[in-house]
Chain A
Amino acid sequence: MRFIFKTDYGQDIKLAKHGGHVFWYSALMLLLMVAPWLVAEYWLAQLTFVLIYAIAGLGLMLLAGFTGLFSLGHAAFLGVGAYTQAVLTNAGMPFPIALACAAGLSAAVGLIVGLPALRVKGIYLGMATLSFGFIVEEVLARWESVTGGNAGIHIKKPDIFGWTLNSGEEFYFLCLVITVLATLGILNLLRAPTGRAFVAIRDSEISAQSMGIHLARYKTLSFALSAALAGIAGALYAHKLQFISPDQFNILQSIDLLLMIVIGGVGSVHGVFLGAIFLITMPQAIAIVKDYLPAVIGQAPGLQGLVYGVVLVSFVLFEPQGLYGRWLKIRTYLQMFPFYRKGMFKRQKTFQKSDRLK
């Protein structure tokens, strides 16, 4: 069992709480940096996708996990970012400026989508975001002069003021840098007043307001930040695939993002990465296991959807705190062996209407 002897307040504010943290995270960073020389090209591409989805997931986690605002149409922001990047890059704009524009436009759309949030809550907000998601998808498909409609558009390679990123490895490093910066940004927010305001809004709006937190301002801020991150992820996504079309940003994509959050563990930054890893490796795992199953199951077209559904249902039923929650339980069990008690991580039940008991 590790006991941290605290001598000053700075220790509680630091991101890496003790030597162990510093060691393991440095090792992880080292591993990620040498990955291009360790793994095959195909797996590096998958790792790049993990990073891209993680960036989008950070945004969605900020919105849904930390501010408690439902977003069922998040793929819309992904799409806005991707198309902005595509159009601007094809017009010759350098990568960083196009990226900034993609983030900015997504943030602006996020602000607009967030406006209903100021008036409605819970499922109604979910419906509003769902509706926006469908509308944006339709706009992307119909505005053919700009987006090329359902036929989609091809994107040129990223060009950072003259240095063109031609290879998979170079693009991987770009994504790695952006992911690290985004993660640090979110972690910084969470240990500062802004992040705390978000969490306050999630847990009790009335008392957040009585503490002087301007609900409208922070809710729209959360939407804008979340959308900006999704926009950045969308832009990188566009460059990676080199071809985008509106149906890549539909309700199924939105559900994939939500799946990532829920399975990773709602309300934790670790959960974002675990969820992203899950999302990208699950199809691979299914593809590998397929060959070992009898043909009637293995070759059936609905298998992937079925597995996704079963995994999602199982996680909500048996491990509502997600992969990260399970990891915490395992770690605590090992740390406290043999004194681990069963109910240590039990969360209190909350009901929307009061007077509900069981």
Chain B
Amino acid sequence: MSAAMNPTPIQPTPEPLLSARQLSVRFGGVLAVNNVSFDVNQGEVFTLIGPNGAGKTTVFNLISRIYTPTTGEIDYLGPQGLIRLTDQPPQNVADLGIARTFQNIELFEHATVLHNLLIGRHTHRKTGLWQDLFFTKTAREAELKAREKAEEVIEFLDLQHHRDSMVAGLPYGVRKVVEMARALCTEPKLLLLDEPSSGLNVEETDDMAFWIQDIKNELGITVLMVEHDMTLVSKVSDRVLAMNQGEVLAMGTPREVQTDPGVIEAYLGSVDDVSSLRRQAA
């Protein structure tokens, strides 16, 4: 199922795929992101953790160019080589091989699941206006090809039951999977997952863990994700970055970060915290 999806496996190179340096974003008086730097290596799963309001989704929005940083830059190893990502307009991001899911699900509500996935194939379209207007042989063949690719993703994520359902009527867990499927249809090099397990039950979160591992191992796609579920983070991540109030707290392997005292204080909490609360209540 998977080799067909990505016929030319991505060769991991020593240079990082994405390199963020001294990123800062200011919204009016609020400094949402303050001097954040990190590298994402090819083929790894890199996770951002931290309390709400830490600036994790803002970093995502910087990478997918919805926001522009006040200072700092992001370099990215695109299909044509190393480029300054922060100079690119938002609509070029998909062409560069960066795909993302949204925290609050931004699907095309009044369309079927298949339709949503086919829109994900937009960057791979072969026809222009006039060929579409007359639906030439090229257009027809391109349509069939796009359908085949979308079907591969459907099979990968087990969405066959929902293929022709309107998105608006689907349960939350399925919509999250459809978002991911749509991102995969763009055949990305870098996949940004914004809280993939939020709103999912235990079983669905397990499935999500397996899928993320499959995406990394079989498809060779680099994954950058924001996550709160520590079990999932430990299970799939290669490296973790902990943020708090827009700044970097710690970076390293999951074990290193989860035992870092600063992270425990700000975000994870420890056994001592719970005991002290119990003592206060007693």
Q: Could you list which residues of chain A lie within 8 angstroms of chain B, going by C-beta atoms? A: 9-10, 12-13, 185, 188-189, 191-197, 199-200, 203-204, 206-215, 221, 267, 347-348, 350
Q: Are A10 and B144 in contact (CB under 8 A)?
A: yes
Question: Which of B16-24, B29-37, B112-120, B152-160 is near enough to bind chain A?
Answer: B112-120
Please report the C-alpha to C-alpha distance between residue A212 and residue B120 in the assembled complex, in whole angstroms: 8
**B residues less than 8 Å from A212 (CB atoms):** 91-95, 122-123, 186
Count of chain B residues with a beta carbon within 8 Å of a chain A beta carbon: 45
Min CB distance, A7 to chain B, in Å? 13
Q: Could you list which residues of chain B lie within 8 angstroms of chain A, going by C-beta atoms? A: 64, 66, 90-95, 99-100, 102, 106-111, 115, 118-123, 125, 127-129, 131-135, 139-140, 142-144, 146-148, 151, 168, 182, 186
Contact of B148 among A9, A192, A195 (CB under 8 A): A9
**A residues less than 8 Å from B94 (CB atoms):** 210-212
Please report the C-alpha to C-alpha distance between residue A347 and residue B109 in the assembled complex, in whole angstroms: 10
**B residues less than 8 Å from A350 (CB atoms):** 109
**B residues less than 8 Å from A12 (CB atoms):** 147
Contact of A13 among B111, B143, B186 (CB under 8 A): B143
Please report the C-alpha to C-alpha distance between residue A208 and residue B107 in the assembled complex, in whole angstroms: 9
Contact of A211 among B140, B147, B151, B186 (CB under 8 A): B186
Q: Are B135 and A192 in contact (CB under 8 A)?
A: yes
* Contact A13 to B125, CB < 8 A, known contacts A207-B106, A210-B64: no
Contact residues of B: prevailing secondary structure:
helix
Q: Which of B102, B106, B107, B133 has the most CB of A within 10 A?
A: B133
Which chain B residue lies CB-closest to A195?
B132
**B residues less than 8 Å from A221 (CB atoms):** 129
Contact residues of A: prevailing secondary structure:
helix
9 sample A-B contacts, Cβ–Cβ < 8 Å, listed by A number: A13-B144, A188-B134, A192-B143, A193-B142, A203-B107, A203-B109, A206-B102, A210-B94, A348-B168
Q: Are B90 and A192 in contact (CB under 8 A)?
A: no
Please report the C-alpha to C-alpha distance between residue A319 and residue B231 in the assembled complex, in whole angstroms: 49
Q: Are B133 and A189 in contact (CB under 8 A)?
A: yes
Count how many pairs of residues, one from A and one from B, have CB atoms less than 8 Å apart in the complex: 107
**A residues less than 8 Å from B140 (CB atoms):** 10, 13
Q: Are A210 and B90 in contact (CB under 8 A)?
A: yes
Please report the C-alpha to C-alpha distance between residue A194 and residue B120 in the assembled complex, in whole angstroms: 13
**A residues less than 8 Å from B143 (CB atoms):** 13, 191-192
Q: Are B106 and A206 in contact (CB under 8 A)?
A: yes
Which chain B residue lies CB-closest to A213?
B122
Please report the C-alpha to C-alpha distance between residue A12 and residue B140 in the assembled complex, in whole angstroms: 11
Q: Are A196 and B118 in contact (CB under 8 A)?
A: yes
Please report the C-alpha to C-alpha distance between residue A204 and residue B119 in the assembled complex, in whole angstroms: 12
Q: Are B119 and A197 in contact (CB under 8 A)?
A: yes
Min CB distance, B102 to chain A, in Å? 7
Min CB distance, A337 to chain B, in Å? 22
12 additional contacts (CB under 8 A) given A188-B133, A348-B109, A350-B109: A9-B148, A13-B144, A189-B133, A192-B127, A192-B132, A194-B133, A196-B118, A199-B108, A200-B119, A207-B102, A214-B91, A348-B168
Q: Are A189 and B132 in contact (CB under 8 A)?
A: yes
Please report the C-alpha to C-alpha distance between residue A191 and residue B120 in the assembled complex, in whole angstroms: 14
- What 7 A-B pairs come out closest when comparing CB atoms? A212-B94, A192-B132, A203-B108, A207-B106, A188-B135, A212-B123, A193-B125
Contact of A185 among B106, B115, B133 (CB under 8 A): B133
Please report the C-alpha to C-alpha distance between residue A208 and residue B115 in the assembled complex, in whole angstroms: 13
Q: Are A211 and B120 in contact (CB under 8 A)?
A: yes
Please report the C-alpha to C-alpha distance between residue A347 and residue B110 in the assembled complex, in whole angstroms: 9
Q: Which of A12, A207, A213, A348 has the most CB of B within 10 A?
A: A207
**A residues less than 8 Å from B110 (CB atoms):** 203, 267, 347
Q: Are B106 and A204 in contact (CB under 8 A)?
A: yes
Which chain B residue lies CB-closest to A193?
B125
Contact of B129 among A10, A191, A194, A215 (CB under 8 A): A194
Which chain B residue lies CB-closest to A216?
B91
**A residues less than 8 Å from B95 (CB atoms):** 212
Which chain B residue lies CB-closest to A212?
B94
Please report the C-alpha to C-alpha distance between residue A193 and residue B120 in the assembled complex, in whole angstroms: 10
Please report the C-alpha to C-alpha distance between residue A245 and residue B54 in the assembled complex, in whole angstroms: 63
Please report the C-alpha to C-alpha distance between residue A98 and residue B143 in the assembled complex, in whole angstroms: 35
Please report the C-alpha to C-alpha distance between residue A100 and residue B189 in the assembled complex, in whole angstroms: 45
